[in-house]
Amino acid sequence: MLTYFVIAPIFIAVLLYLIPFFKARKALVILAQGALFLAACYLFFRTRETEIVTIVGEYSGFLGIILRADQLAAMFVGLTTLMFLIITVYSFNEQKDSRLFWFLLFIWEGAFIGLFLTRDLFNIFVLAEVSSAVAAVLLMYKRTNRSSYHGIIFLMVNVIVMQFYLLGVGYLYMLTGALDMEYSHMIVSTLDRSRLILPFALIMTAIAAKSSMLPLFTFLPKVQSIPRAPVSVAALFSALQVKSGLYLFLRFRHLFEAIDMTGIFLALGILTAVVGVAFALTQTDVKRILAYSTVAQAGLIMVGLNLEGVYAYVGSMYHIISHAISKSLLFLATGMVIRVYNTRDIGEIRGVLRSLPVVGVCIVFGILSITGAPLFGGNISKYFMMAEVNLPLFITMSFINLGTILVFIKFARILFGTPSEEVAQQQPIQVDKFKQTAIVILSALCLAGGVFGPGLVRLLFGVDATVSLGGFVEKLIILLVSWAVGLLLTKYRHLGRGGLQRVTNRLDFGFRGITVSMGAFLVLMLVLVGVLM
Amino acid sequence: MIPNPMLYAILALWVFGAVCILRERRNVRVMIYLFIFSLLTSLAYFLLGSPDTAMAEAAIGAFTTIFFIVCFEKYEALKVDGPQPEESPAEKRPVGAWLKRVVAPLLFTAVIGALMLYFSPGGEVVDHLKSQYLTQFAQDVGGENAVTAIYLGYRVYDTLFEALLLVVTVLAVAHMSYSTSLQSTKQKRYLKPSVVEIAVVRAIAVVILLFGVYLIVNGHITAGGGFQGGLFIAAFFVCRFLIHNIHDLPVYKLLRLEEVVFASSVLIAVFVIFLGMTYHLPAEHLPMFQGVYMVIMNFMIGMKVACGFTILFYRYVTIERR
Amino acid sequence: MELTSNIIIIIGTVFMLFGAIGILKFRSFSLRVLIISKIDTVGAVTVVIGVALRHGISFFTLRVLLLLGILLVVNPMVTHIITRTAHVSGYNLEEDRGQDDT
Amino acid sequence: MNPIEVAAIVVFLISFYGLITGKKMIKAVVYMVLMQSAVIVFFLSIGFQSGTVPPMGAYLEYAEHIADPLPQALMITAIVVGVAVTTINITMLMAFFRKHPTTDWDEARKKSMEKEGAATLPNLESQS
């Protein structure tokens, strides 16, 4: 059954490319996305009872490829179909003539779903290559942005990193003689720990690059802010591409249970979050601010995943969803703003609330959600993430949240003021109805994620979670204090210039820098695991 | 029996080839070394007991080299109006820069290598799936070639994605290359082939085509298969280009043909393998059914690969070069 | 039979060895092309004949002979293309004084 | 640790060295090809012994050491994936040359910074 979740989008993609009738294509696009979303919901409710296992071809033993859908995988599949449905609505009118766009979009969806469902080590390699190649082509097939330097770097780094991964899989295959993760897990747990170090380090290098961890984070934000690339693709990068790295991290942490690396990844997550915030503060490009903020949030999620306790895990899982929704909301809304204002410079966009009221309100919703304001999705996730931590970590995470607030105070400047002459003349400002629908749906989802938060957590993870009043008030106070500090800081100090700028310029690697840091990450892993054992 | 000294000699040459590529500055020579390297790789695969991959690598190496040559040629042609100086003569560099640019990366790489070799797990190789594959494949999937059985039976799911990636590549090249139209309109005349060339290539083209078909049809029995056969059929079209020197293939139709073939191979795989049809058929018809399935699947993959690489070759050689 | 075929194969490799030495020794383009064609045709063909003799009359020999046919047709053509391209692109035999034209 | 594995890792590292020191963009693609070959050789060397024969045809009945068919099938897939990605990369590079005729990483970075770097350039006709 699970194979059809992967095969169906791909088959539809080919059909979309081949059908000559325009109207039939349009209908097929929207119907197919809706049907996929409903099917993913059905899958999720099925997996609440048992894990669904599909052996491709019904071969006995572990000879064939085995797909497994547990609750985690089903949740990610649901998120994927939801995001793709919304992106489809968003670009329905804009891209209606482009066959290639729809073809690639559906294939990308199939690759993501396959990545979340498969539990075969080599299949992950193939699907990751497909997804990065499709992403690169989607960003660059248009004439205007064909010669993008960052797109080239993105594809090359991904390919090289996947070679590291493949080498790691080779060592694992040598040790376990199988490619299925569950079966490998059984054998790996009987092996001596010292024999696992090299495959572990190689695979973790690849995952760090996929989930934009510290030394390997510079190329993902830039690829999201290629000037004329479709903003919907950038939103999907933030919502799913980075998250797929985190998902793989969870899977491989389970596989390498023998190697306990929570401390290192905790530190890595904190560093990534801090550096991501610093980078976001120094940018002037709106899209790039959002993209670097994704890095910071990925670091935060990494911290949450490595904390102890059920609540932290649930919180970071919930944050994956709420961040995907709010960040894609911000990206899509920003895309509409850029279209009207014709610039990406944060200094030049002013008065969005006045010129584009609906979009402005949606941006406000997104900012509130991502900074963790009460009644919004981000609040619930951050509440759970910080529910059980000790004091130093609590302070660190509050500081990271303060950083996020600083970034978004800077971002929120586009909302106020008076729009420039040029924009004011464009009366009435034309807004694509489909795009507006998409972002309104997303902001409704942001709100719903907060209002029905505890209920949703119970539904998604089966954890009985209630937000206690005392804790809520405590968090609210911290949040208000953070906002106040953030406002004061931005009022009296001009952040993002001077020292911070110099530091980020230093850390802003090119292609060779990224390759060197790949090797450095590998060495770090090997030495740390070798020494700490 | 394969003698081991030969394998080690080839591997030593292989490493040496990589070093040569590393040391070489001139683009043309890099291309030649790359081609030789790919041939050596192919030989090494063969000596490691894997003729299927060897064949695939040999054919792929030729095509990749063509693409690289076109890329270099274009670069050399465009570079003239670019201002940057290439290949600066061996001027005196300060020692510090030399340390930073050569020694430090070398040390870094050496550290990585030492760590990798130190932590290399080694020990006994676990291979209990291997014996299962070797004893069961004839019954489960059919044919006499275990590699093709895995490629088309046990792991056909992977194969579909690989075919998909090739489709995406062809579409990307067709849409991303310089010219927006899918069909080239202007005919640029290159060096006209001589009489000898035409006669020989004509004769060889037929042999190549036959060999490609042979590989596809016999893919489940001996080495070879859809992918390798498809590459040879694409080579037939390359021969056609060499003789006629014009770009007159209907690229758009080929693209559609490729997509249709891909879609139908997905359908076949779904109906035969994913639904587990081999378990529901009566046992006496099974071998014939399996044979037919493998030939058809190989044929589909072959056709798709042939279409794809023909399009790639024509795009690169006739349109990208302009 | 075994001995004869071995001798023939060794002769072929000796041809190839001389060819390789020749490429290193001669510096001019035309001489090098001559030597390459020697390796291609004489060396390769001799080795293939040796291999065919070694296996006697069998299906394998048939395939080897097919390979021999292809070699005999293709290898001279390759040399032909190299020299012809050099000629067309303005290479002058008279000026060839044996410099290293790399 | 067998010598084939060492050779594969050596080539892997040679190409890694090339990637971190190489100046040209096309050479980086060449090194990627080398890296792929190295990984493939490593896979094929898993379980290799002297006198291993291919897992097909008549060998299956009498031969003693038969090669592991699974890595071979995987590596055919890896070869195809590799060539597909390499081709996309070459196409992208060629599109890049047409705009900025350079293959130097630093130069290319500088040039693309002018074009798409910070948003200091006003009035970009953004589509989107």
The residue ranges of every structural domain in chain B are 1-79, 141-322
Q: Which CATH number fits domain D3-53+61-111: 2.120.10.30, 1.10.287.3510, 1.20.1530.20, 1.10.10.410?
A: 1.10.287.3510
Of the candidates A160, A179, A342, which has its C-beta nearest D126's C-beta?
A342
pLDDT tier at D93 (50, 70, 90 boundaries)? confident
In this predicted structure, what is the pLDDT of residue A410? 85
Distance from CA of D43 to the nearest CA of B (A): 10
Identify which has the larger pLDDT, C68 or A429.
Answer: C68
Give phi and psi for D57, each to the nearest 5: 60, -140
Q: How many domains does chain A have?
A: 2
- Position C101 pLDDT exceeds 50: no
Taking the mean position of all CA atoms in its chain, how far away is CA B159? 14
CB neighbour burial string for B30-45, b if at least 16 within 10 angstroms, e if fewer:
bbebbbbbbbbbbbbb
Quote the minimal CA–CA distance from D54 to chain B in Å.
Answer: 5
Instruction: Please tell me if residue A528 touches chain B, with a CB cutoff of 8 Å.
Output: no
Confidence of residue D117 (pLDDT cuts 50, 70, 90): very low
Instruction: State the nearest Cα–Cα gap between D25 and chain B, in angstroms.
Output: 11
Convert the pLDDT of each residue in D52-85 to its tens digit. 888 877 777 777 788 888 999 999 999 999 999 9
Q: Chain B partners of C77 at a C-beta cutoff of 8 Å? A: 196-197, 200-201
User: Considering only alpha carbons, which residue of chain B is nearest residue A197?
Assistant: B119
pLDDT at D121 over 70: no
Q: What ipTM was assigned to the predicted interfaces of this complex?
A: 0.91
Which tens digit of pLDDT belongs to each residue from C30-58?
888 888 888 888 888 898 888 888 887 88
- pLDDT value, residue B202: 87
Structure tokens, B121:
């797990």
pLDDT in tens, chain A (533 residues): 888 889 999 999 998 888 888 888 888 888 999 999 999 999 998 888 888 888 887 787 788 889 999 888 999 999 999 999 999 999 888 877 788 889 999 999 999 999 999 999 999 999 999 999 999 888 887 766 666 788 888 999 999 999 999 999 999 998 888 888 988 898 888 888 888 889 999 999 999 999 888 888 888 888 888 877 888 888 998 889 999 999 999 999 989 888 888 888 999 999 999 989 888 888 888 888 899 999 999 999 998 888 888 888 888 888 999 999 999 999 999 988 888 888 888 878 888 888 888 888 999 999 988 888 877 887 888 888 877 778 888 888 888 888 888 888 888 888 887 777 777 777 667 778 888 888 899 999 888 888 887 888 888 887 776 777 777 787 788 888 888 888 887 776 666 566 777 777 777 888 888 899 999 999 998 988 887 76
CATH architecture of the region B1-79: Orthogonal Bundle (1.10)
For D103, name the nearest residue in chain A, comparing CA atoms only.
Answer: A149
Candidates C74, C82, C83, partner chain B, best to mutate (most B CBs within 10 A): C74
Q: What is the pLDDT of residue A495?
A: 63
Please write down the long-range contacts of A411-414, taking CB distance under 8 Å and 24 or more positions apart: A411/A286, A411/A289, A411/A290, A411/A330, A411/A346, A411/A367, A412/A363, A412/A364, A412/A367, A413/A346, A413/A350, A414/A286, A414/A337, A414/A346, A414/A349, A414/A350, A414/A352, A414/A363
| A285: phi then psi, degrees, rounded to nearest 5 | -85, 130
Distance from CA of C85 to the nearest CA of B (A): 8
Cβ pair D41:B48 closer than 8 A: yes
CB B44 within 8 A of CB D37: no
Q: What is the pLDDT of residue B146?
A: 87
Give the nearest partner residue to B197 out of C70, C81, C88, using CB atoms: C81
Residue A53 bridge partners (DSSP): A68
Percent helix, percent strand, percent coil in chain C, to nearest 5: 80, 0, 20
Nearest chain B Cα distance for residue A65, angstroms:
6
Task: Find the CB nearest A10 among B115, B162, B164.
Answer: B164
Of all residues in chain B, the one with the smallest CA distance to A55 is B274
For chains B and C, having 3+ Cβ pairs within 8 Å is answered yes
Report d(CA D15, CA A163) in Å as an integer: 12
Contact A519 B108 (CB under 8 A): yes
Å between D3 CA and nearest CA of chain A: 15
Distance CA(A73)–CA(A78), nearest Å, equals: 9
Q: Residue B200: which of C74, C84, C85 has the nearest Cβ?
A: C74
Chains A and B touch (3+ CB pairs under 8 A): yes
Element holding A490 (H helix, E strand): helix A469-492
Bridge partner list, A54: A67
Q: Specify the pTM.
A: 0.92
**Residues 176 through 215 of chain A touching chain B, CB cutoff 8 Å:** 176-178, 187, 194-199, 201
Asked if residue D32 has pLDDT above 50, the reply is yes
CA-nearest residue to D22 within chain B is B22
Give the Å distances, CA to CA, from A98 to A25, A88, B174.
11, 13, 14
Domain that holds residue A83: 1-118
**Which residue in chain D is spatially nearest to B315 when comparing CA positions?**
D91
Domain residues of chain D, as ranges?
Answer: 3-53+61-111
Q: Which segments in chain B show pLDDT lower than 70?
A: 1-3, 80-93, 177-191, 246-247, 278, 321-322
DSSP tag of B152? I
C65 in reach of chain B (CB within 8 A):
no
- Interface B–D counts its CB contacts (< 8 A) at 245
Single out the residue in A84, A99, A118 at which a domain terminates: A118
Q: List, as one string, the DSSP characters of C28-76.
A: SHHHHHHHHHHIIIIIHHHHHHHHHHHT-SSHHHHHHHHHHHHHHHHHH
pLDDT of residue B276: 72
Domain boundaries, chain C: 2-88
Question: Quick check: C74 and B191 CB within 8 A?
Answer: no
